[in-house]
Structure 1
Amino acid sequence: MAAAEPRRATAPPGRAESPYRVMVVEDSLVIRGLIARILEADPRIAVVTTVANGELAIKALDRNEVEVVVLDIEMPVMDGLTALPLLIRKDPNLQIIMASTLTRKNAEVSIRALSAGAADYVAKPTTSREVNTADDFRRDLTEKVLTLGARRRQRVPASAAPTPGRVAAVPKQAAAPAAPVLRPTQWLRPPTVIGIGSSTGGPQALLKVLGGLAPMRQPILITQHMPATFTTILAEHIGRVASMPCAEAVDGEPVAGGRIYLAPGDHHMSVVARDGGRFIKLDQGPRENFCRPSVDPMLRSMSAVWGDGVLAVILTGMGSDGLGGCRTVVQAGGKVLAQDEATSVVWGMPGAVARAGVCSEILALSEMGPRLARIAGGAER
């Protein structure tokens, strides 16, 4: 199928900066058009071209300035996983969002794509009707394109001089964000439990941090923003690289030391104390921070159960989920670590806690695992 005629981006009236330029790669003509219309409903986004397979996407990069690619996985001629490294080779700063339906096979491929250089993923509705009616998909896709488009421009600033077919970006005179503020910390004793929250870039970060840890006596609870099926695959990947067993949490199971519990997609995970034990509780209550699972209810419940024994870790992710929970952790006497901006795919979640002054330390991703090991092992006193 031939590529659609490119539509050149123009700045919306009254905007100082040109919209983020997107290419949609999807073999279904209907779904391709619907995704393009969803994105162009936001004046900050311009879909400059749409194509039907990975081979056409690679050729389209020679003709179009593109900042973000929405890349389908299953396509004829050349699929998304094959096209991914070829697109990155053409433009190492290209931001690629994998789009896949919620099947085990596609979830596995999506996790592999993240390790191969994709920035994020979206769970694609399976029919045109679902795309039309799925508000969560619309919001998720639009927010990820905007966030990753901004990340691209931070890495490759738009030229001050306009190029053919593009409106020049004018630097904004926005106020600088608040600087990180650290809390004075004394590590009087090792934590009793560790809670980790992450979103965009989180699967890659979790595998790196947990893959380097020796067995620990503390339980580790993780909330990663991911849909069902994807969390199943992520838990299996973590279990293969970590020195501790990892699985999706099960409602009512006891929390045991030396194990990793991952919140299942579409379920909040919390902990309750009863009969002298601690047990996992899963629920499908209202979304928090537009998320289910959300980091905040996990951290709030951990503070209620373990008090000052909680160590919270906030890794890369967009938005501010986890900030409220981290405040609760600190109020109860627990401590917070956050990933730094330089190594985060998106410094939204860790940036929010860093600027709020609830962090004991802000660490590069490569430092997080060794630091956790020292703190959990009681080496910091």
Structure 2
Amino acid sequence: MPALLEAAPPPVRDPRIRVMVVDDSAIVRGLIVQTLERDPALRVVARAAQGEAALAELDRTAVDVVVLDIEMPVMDGLTALPLILKKRPEVKVIMASTLTRRNARTSLQALQAGAADYVPKPETGGLVGAEEFARELTAKVKALGQARGRGRAAPTAAPAASPAHPAPVVRAAPLSPPVRPQVLAIGGSTGAPPALMTLFADLKGELEQAVLLTQHMPPTFTAMLAEQLERTGERPAAEARDGEPILPGRIYVAPGGWHMTVGRSGKVPVIRLNQEPPEHFCRPSVDPMLRSAAAVYGPGVLAVILTGMGADGADGCRMVAEAGGRFVVQDEATSVVWGMPGAAAKTGLADAVLPLPQIGPWIRRACA
């Protein structure tokens, strides 16, 4: 009787996150590759000098994350972005650009067009030894690579719970009716700028409360974000200024590089800005805003935590709830990265964990 042939074991997939780096500067491209390959969880599998070459690489190479420069010859990053996403919808794209006003505007356009995140790129001469750039880029590539496979569509209902993803705990309904919010405090990071546009479009003409917003962004980017929010939400929006009163109907955006908090001038709530050490590696950070808002407004705070990596905002949400306020978080299915909202949900104090399309209607009901 012939010996039975043993079936060959299935090939083992390399668990490392596969990255493609697209930049027209060979020096910058090489330095980004070196930065990423320091981390054993990452593997650079392709390099390209412009958009057309990147698209050709995608035809022959499996990629999880693309780091995409904006300004390139032949085909720039903004032109290449939708073509990359059409060819490989599951790929996460991080835009890389220097901190100019024009590049900030272009980066925000890219986020609206489907990019998952961006990273501010130092000038070429300062790229060597730029540890903050290296830390941020590596962290974002890893967070997005670990989230690969999640669709870009925003479902209208949360996914069913499973043993691997148990349903988030929300707190029981309060014994007495909640206080009508005086201020809406929003925090977000990776993937949040497009979510903010959706949210403020939903709230257009419906919100009387002041809005405090801390989004993890560098200087210049926050000014551009405020301009977009003003157009989308049809209400005044600007980077916050130290000492200005917090007025109903206005949106106050934490400036890049500054923590935004709430203080008092007599009995009037005012904006306070400081450059105390970063929290969660971020300045601005969401936690200082929420802690101070809870101290000043007490039960009059309604907080919202949108998609983002890390755990910034969870401790602040806990303090909001302890002061009698309320908070809601974006669900995992509609988040690009369920770090910040997931950490806030795990406190067990959230009033709701909702898909992005349901957050605006929830806020309108809460603020009515």
**Which TM-score applies when normalising by structure 1?**
0.88
What are the residue-to-residue correspondences of 1:271-286 with 2, within 5 Å?
Answer: 271-286=262-277
Shift of 1:73: 0.1
Q: State the secondary structure of the residue aligned to 2:327.
A: strand
In structure 1, runs of 5+ residues without a counterpart are 1-14, 157-174
Match of 1:152 among 134, 137, 148: 148
Shift of 1:217: 2.1
CA distance in 1, matches of 2:193, 2:136: 17
Amino acid in the other structure paired with 2:79: T
Match of 1:287 in 2: 278
Amino acid in the other structure paired with 1:92: P
Shift of 1:152: 1.1
Amino acid in the other structure paired with 2:147: R
Q: Deviations over 1:165-200 (max 9, x none)?
A: xxxxxxxxxx94664111012443311111000000
Match of 1:270 among 240, 257, 261: 261
Match of 1:228 in 2: 219
Amino acid in the other structure paired with 1:284: Q
Contact 2:170–2:352 under 8 Å retained in 1: yes
CA distance in 1, matches of 2:169, 2:114: 31
Match of 1:201 in 2: 191
Q: Deviations over 1:19-54 (max 9, x none)?
A: 111110001110100000000000110111111101
Match of 1:127 among 124, 128, 147: 124
CA distance in 2, matches of 1:183, 1:131: 47
Q: Deviations over 1:246-284 (max 9, x none)?
A: 111011111001111010111100010121211101111
What are the residue-to-residue correspondences of 1:124-273 with 2, within 5 Å?
Answer: 124-128=121-125, 130-153=126-149, 176=164, 179-186=167-174, 187-213=177-203, 214-273=205-264
Contact 1:215–1:244 under 8 Å retained in 2: no
Is 1:56 aligned with 2:46? no
CA distance in 1, matches of 2:178, 2:169: 21
Amino acid in the other structure paired with 1:99: A
CA distance in 2, matches of 1:31, 1:80: 15
Contact 2:206–2:364 under 8 Å retained in 1: no
Q: Please tell me the root mean square deviation across aligned C-alpha atoms, in Å.
A: 1.7
CA distance in 2, matches of 1:302, 1:194: 10
Match of 2:76 in 1: 79
Match of 1:6 in 2: none
Q: State the secondary structure of the residue aligned to 2:128.
A: helix
Amino acid in the other structure paired with 2:300: G
How many residue pairs match? The answer is 345
Is 1:116 aligned with 2:122? no
Match of 2:65 in 1: 68
Match of 1:33 in 2: 30
Shift of 1:153: 4.3
Which one is further off, 60-69 or 25-34? 60-69
Match of 1:107 in 2: 104
What are the residue-to-residue correspondences of 1:307-318 with 2, within 5 Å?
Answer: 307-318=298-309
In structure 2, runs of 5+ residues without a counterpart are 1-11, 153-162
Match of 1:372 in 2: 363
Contact 2:90–2:150 under 8 Å retained in 1: no
**Which TM-score applies when normalising by structure 2?**
0.91
